[in-house]
Structure 1
Amino acid sequence: MNRSAPRRPSLRRRLLVFLLIPMIALLMFDAVLSYGVALTYANRVHDRDLSDDAVTLAKLLDNDRLGSQLTPQARFLLEYDPDGRSYFNVRRGSGGLLAGNGQLPQPAHAPALGAAPTLYDTRLDQHTLRAATVHVAARHAAGDSLIVTVAETLHDRREQAREILLLAVLMQTFLIVCLLALVWFGVTRGLRVLDPLTAQLAGRSLELTPIDGADVPQEIQPLTRTIDALFGRLRSMLDLHDRFIADAAHQLRTPLTGLSLHVERALADPRPETVADALGHIQRLTHRAARTSSQLLALMRAQTAPGDPGESRLLDLARLIPEAVTQRVHEAIRAGVDLGYAGSAQPLHVLGDAAGVQDMLDNLIDNAMRYAGRGSNITVQLQAREDGGATLSVEDDGPGVPSELMSRLSERFFRVAGGNEAGSGLGLAIVQSIARRHHAEVVYQAGSGQRGLRVEIRFPPATRGRAST
């Protein structure tokens, strides 16, 4: 059954969604705000008209010619309302209703004589009304006054606010649609700056040069710098592979050539003593080739192992190192070497990789056993430092190394002149690579009494991790 491929994320779609959702929310908020502003504006206009109507009606009623009576035309105009009715009420200040079309409730505080109209909300016949009351002197009745109240429903106010809101929303929606179209066009055009970079990468074969240049936009520089860092790691890895191939070819050429010569010698002279001598040489050369290959692979692993601190653990060297030394005692006895350990039994923790630390110690012991020779003494020592770190040292009492050559001991394939030719010259280079991965320092110095060689691995203090079990 064929299943459709999962939909890939789109940067263009994500940008547009991130813009569209806030715009819709902003439009809704603006609609509520616009309706509130429109309703406030409509209320203000209608309140002003309502106050003017109350004052006008009061003046009209106070006209001597009208005799405090409304004409039918004035009553019709006051009562006309498309949504219901307009209401009015005229009372004497001394009491009594002169005219009106409803019992309008009066405000909580009666307006003062001659003061501006009082506006208030009220209800009549289940209608919510807005009313205006004015208190004026009656010229036709000495000592008396008129209280005129005019009220209207809220239909016109709300209708006007809705019309304003509709116009505002339509206009703003149009503007947002135009803005989104511009954003779409801008995002599409803006993403085209990636086209030259894409074409540049597509046109490369095995070229791993940096791609971050002056023409790369600053917004995508983190991406290009990450790619350049990846290219740098790949270049380093490829360089290591090329170096490994070259080193393997260089180091294995001599033993393989020797193997070929001794095989030809045995074939050319089949006498038993010649064949036995040739087989002895072949065995030694085979062991040398095998050791060189093993050392090359160990160096490659040490150089290419990930250096992620998250993979490290808190190691107790006071427990790890004695166990590793114990495993080499029988080999040292066969080689005629006195191998010993000196160190405190108190826990001594460093942050690192147990297998890497053991490989480092094995190479240091191998190096000391090969170059110190039979009858020598090798001491592995573990000490705590005042800064919280630890120092692991391997010291022998062999012929030692001239001081001017100490700095070259970590070079690959470097061997001190006159030393044991069976060595590959890779042991201390492996030690250096593993120590670097553990942020440790390798120090070479003369042994006690200026005899032999002392190699110290100075581990930094352990600040995190968990205890190794």
Structure 2
Amino acid sequence: MSQRMLWRNERQSLRRRLLTTLLVPLTLLLMFNSLITYIGALIYANHVHDKDLINDTLTLVQMMAHESPDGRVSSQAQFLLDYEPEGRNYFSVYSSKHGLIAGNRAVRPPSGMPRHGGDPLLYNVQIDTHALRAASMLMSNPLDAGDQLEVTVAETLRDRHQEARQILLLSIPAQTLLIIAAFLLVWLGVRTGLRQLDPLTEQLANREHDLAPIGDANVPVEILPLTRTIDGLFGRLRGMLALQERFIADAAHQLRTPLAGLSVHAERARASTDPQTIADSLNHIQRLIQRANRTSSQLLALTRAQTVEHEAGDTEPLNLATLVPELVGQRVHEGLAAGIDLGYDGPAGPLWIDGDRHRIQEMLDNLIDNGLRYAGSGSLMTVSLARERGGICLAVEDNGPGVPAGWIERLGERFFRVPGVQEEGSGLGLAIVQRIAQWHGGSARYMAGGESGLRVEIMLPAGYAPKKNGDA
């Protein structure tokens, strides 16, 4: 048997599971109903036999009062009481003065007999290993007015249980047929109900590249959680495909110019025999390659940053008061090379957030790169941290030429570059910063610096310090 066939055989059937789930309760219901039927039949049999037992006792009392003036059981009555092929009937007649007159000595009525003229008393008694049901009644002794006779008639419980079993055996086939009919109706209902999934299955099977939501129309209520989950999956797939298409379009847009320049300078170097021209072309090719590398790196960074949703485990507690000075220190030598005084200003205490270290580093690097590229030699650039409105503000400010007020609102747009700026760039740095801030649940704000220049503020939600071992 192939692995595929084995996998098919091991797959669980929803129809089989539903039927099994219903068959077990129906079987238990049959057993419970049979028990209830037997108990009801036994109660009915006890009621009928108790009534017959009372009638037998009253009959015996009347026979003794009218047909046995000597107070003894007539031969006819004794024959009727004793004649039992399986020995299931017992009787006794006790005199308050003379003791047992007739019958079985073991059949004694309990204490507290009813008064003369009352109804027979029903009770249970044990003789040897037999459980009996008995009826007792007091009567006056016809021969002695001062004497009373206790007349008792008893029988075993065998007939009662036998009749209850007969009723049960008669009812079980009908109940079984009823359960089978109910099961068949359930099977038919499950089969018909599952067919309602066929249109949905056909609709999904006919789709090729359509990731539109299924919607709630014509979908059974029980299937709505599944279809809504599928719609959520379709939405995430649409987002991923849109992100992929945007990345391809952005890459084509941004790499077209460097690639065209590479082709031009390569042809120039091939066509010239002048060493100076060839060297100049190679320098241009090297700068264009660096530009293409940076652009592709930023495109990848922007694509990662545009994935706004993140799963558990993507973040960890980060102390920005320790991380940011460390990251700034790694860029100081670049600031010195560019003639820019790069510094840090922040509180001494910890500033915790729940974030991703690599994304925070990428965001800060882009902010510092932006300042190093556009602030100009001789400028000051300060990276600062502060608590603000229940969150943490990470700011990068320089005193360079800044951005005209009319263009500040557009900072953070993809591929936007301030008109008139001569420095090369892709227009992706601040877009990456803004997306990473959003990924962390924060936001980015752009404004003019104190006297001149540009100030970028990143507002991040405050987090909690990690628990130490042993903390509750």
Q: Which TM-score band (shorter chain)?
A: over 0.9
**Using a 3 Å threshold, how does the CA distance of structure 1 residues 20 and 420 change in structure 2: closer, same or farther?**
farther
| Bigger shift: residues 267-276 or 120-129 | 267-276
Structure 2 equivalent of residue 217 of structure 1: 220
2:276 aligned with 1:234: no
1:416-457 Cα offsets, whole Å, 9 max, x none, are 0112441100011111111111001111111112x1111111
Q: How far apart are the structure 2 equivalents of 1:27 and 1:402?
A: 85
Q: How far apart are the structure 2 equivalents of 1:196 and 1:82?
A: 73
| Bigger shift: residues 437-446 or 403-412 | 403-412
Structure 1 segments (4+ residues) deviating >6 Å:
none
Structure 2 equivalent of residue 440 of structure 1: 442
For the residue of structure 1 that corresponds to 2:114, the secondary structure is coil
| Bigger shift: residues 167-176 or 432-441 | 167-176
Residue 301 of structure 1: CA displacement?
1.7
Q: How far apart are the structure 2 equivalents of 1:442 and 1:407?
A: 11
Residue 108 of structure 1: CA displacement?
1.9
Q: How far apart are the structure 2 equivalents of 1:226 and 1:311?
A: 23
Q: How far apart are the structure 1 equivalents of 2:198 and 2:255?
A: 49
Residue 97 of structure 1: CA displacement?
3.3
Structure 1 equivalent of residue 297 of structure 2: 294
Structure 1 equivalent of residue 459 of structure 2: 458
- Aligned partner of 2:152 among 149, 157, 160: 149
Asked if the contact 2:71/2:141 (under 8 Å) is kept, the reply is no
2:32 aligned with 1:39: no
Asked if the contact 1:58/1:146 (under 8 Å) is kept, the reply is no
| Unaligned residue ranges in structure 1 (runs of 5+) | none
For the residue of structure 1 that corresponds to 2:108, the secondary structure is coil
1:326-349 Cα offsets, whole Å, 9 max, x none, are 111112211222111111221110
Alignment of structure 1 residues 164-243 onto 2, 5 Å: 164-243=167-246
For the residue of structure 2 that corresponds to 1:311, the secondary structure is coil
For the residue of structure 1 that corresponds to 2:444, the secondary structure is strand
For the residue of structure 1 that corresponds to 2:268, the secondary structure is helix
Structure 1 equivalent of residue 404 of structure 2: 402
Asked if the contact 2:216/2:224 (under 8 Å) is kept, the reply is no
**Using a 3 Å threshold, how does the CA distance of structure 1 residues 21 and 35 change in structure 2: closer, same or farther?**
same
Q: How far apart are the structure 1 equivalents of 2:425 and 2:105?
A: 120
2:258 aligned with 1:255: yes
Q: How far apart are the structure 1 equivalents of 2:272 and 2:332?
A: 42
Asked if the contact 1:83/1:155 (under 8 Å) is kept, the reply is no
1:132 maps to a residue whose letter is A
Alignment of structure 1 residues 43-192 onto 2, 5 Å: 43-64=46-67, 68-81=71-84, 83-139=86-142, 142-192=145-195
Residue 255 of structure 1: CA displacement?
1.4
Asked if the contact 1:371/1:420 (under 8 Å) is kept, the reply is no
Residue 464 of structure 1: CA displacement?
7.8
**Using a 3 Å threshold, how does the CA distance of structure 1 residues 144 and 207 change in structure 2: closer, same or farther?**
same
Q: How far apart are the structure 2 equivalents of 1:53 and 1:111?
A: 17
Residue 73 of structure 1: CA displacement?
4.2
Q: How far apart are the structure 1 equivalents of 2:462 and 2:82?
A: 95
**Using a 3 Å threshold, how does the CA distance of structure 1 residues 350 and 175 change in structure 2: closer, same or farther?**
same
Asked if the contact 2:67/2:74 (under 8 Å) is kept, the reply is no
Percent of aligned pairs with the same residue?
A: 55
For the residue of structure 1 that corresponds to 2:409, the secondary structure is helix
For the residue of structure 1 that corresponds to 2:66, the secondary structure is coil
Structure 1 equivalent of residue 370 of structure 2: 367
| Unaligned residue ranges in structure 2 (runs of 5+) | none
For the residue of structure 2 that corresponds to 1:76, the secondary structure is helix
2:355 aligned with 1:358: no
| Bigger shift: residues 367-376 or 455-464 | 455-464
| Bigger shift: residues 403-412 or 185-194 | 403-412
**Using a 3 Å threshold, how does the CA distance of structure 1 residues 83 and 185 change in structure 2: closer, same or farther?**
farther
1:85-118 Cα offsets, whole Å, 9 max, x none, are 3111123344343332444122122231111111
**Using a 3 Å threshold, how does the CA distance of structure 1 residues 88 and 269 change in structure 2: closer, same or farther?**
same
TM score, norm. by length of structure 1: 0.93
Asked if the contact 2:92/2:153 (under 8 Å) is kept, the reply is yes
Structure 1 equivalent of residue 392 of structure 2: 390
Asked if the contact 1:60/1:66 (under 8 Å) is kept, the reply is no
For the residue of structure 1 that corresponds to 2:251, the secondary structure is helix
For the residue of structure 2 that corresponds to 1:63, the secondary structure is helix
Structure 1 equivalent of residue 417 of structure 2: 415
Residue 70 of structure 1: CA displacement?
4.3
Q: How far apart are the structure 1 equivalents of 2:423 and 2:264?
A: 19
Asked if the contact 1:318/1:346 (under 8 Å) is kept, the reply is yes
For the residue of structure 2 that corresponds to 1:159, the secondary structure is helix
Asked if the contact 2:69/2:143 (under 8 Å) is kept, the reply is no
Residue 157 of structure 1: CA displacement?
1.1
| Bigger shift: residues 197-206 or 106-115 | 106-115
Asked if the contact 1:121/1:130 (under 8 Å) is kept, the reply is yes
Q: How far apart are the structure 1 equivalents of 2:317 and 2:85?
A: 87
For the residue of structure 2 that corresponds to 1:84, the secondary structure is coil
For the residue of structure 2 that corresponds to 1:361, the secondary structure is helix
**Using a 3 Å threshold, how does the CA distance of structure 1 residues 358 and 180 change in structure 2: closer, same or farther?**
same
Q: How far apart are the structure 1 equivalents of 2:254 and 2:27?
A: 72
2:269 aligned with 1:266: yes
Residue 414 of structure 1: CA displacement?
0.3
| Bigger shift: residues 73-82 or 335-344 | 73-82
For the residue of structure 2 that corresponds to 1:128, the secondary structure is strand
1:361 maps to a residue whose letter is L
For the residue of structure 1 that corresponds to 2:430, the secondary structure is helix
1:364-394 Cα offsets, whole Å, 9 max, x none, are 111111111222211100112352x211111
For the residue of structure 2 that corresponds to 1:215, the secondary structure is coil
Asked if the contact 2:141/2:148 (under 8 Å) is kept, the reply is yes
Q: How far apart are the structure 2 equivalents of 1:218 and 1:312?
A: 37
Residue 79 of structure 1: CA displacement?
2.5
Q: How far apart are the structure 1 equivalents of 2:422 and 2:124?
A: 111
For the residue of structure 2 that corresponds to 1:448, the secondary structure is coil
Residue 266 of structure 1: CA displacement?
3.0
| Bigger shift: residues 230-239 or 90-99 | 90-99
1:96-149 Cα offsets, whole Å, 9 max, x none, are 433324441221222311111111111224322111111123456545443211
1:462 maps to a residue whose letter is G
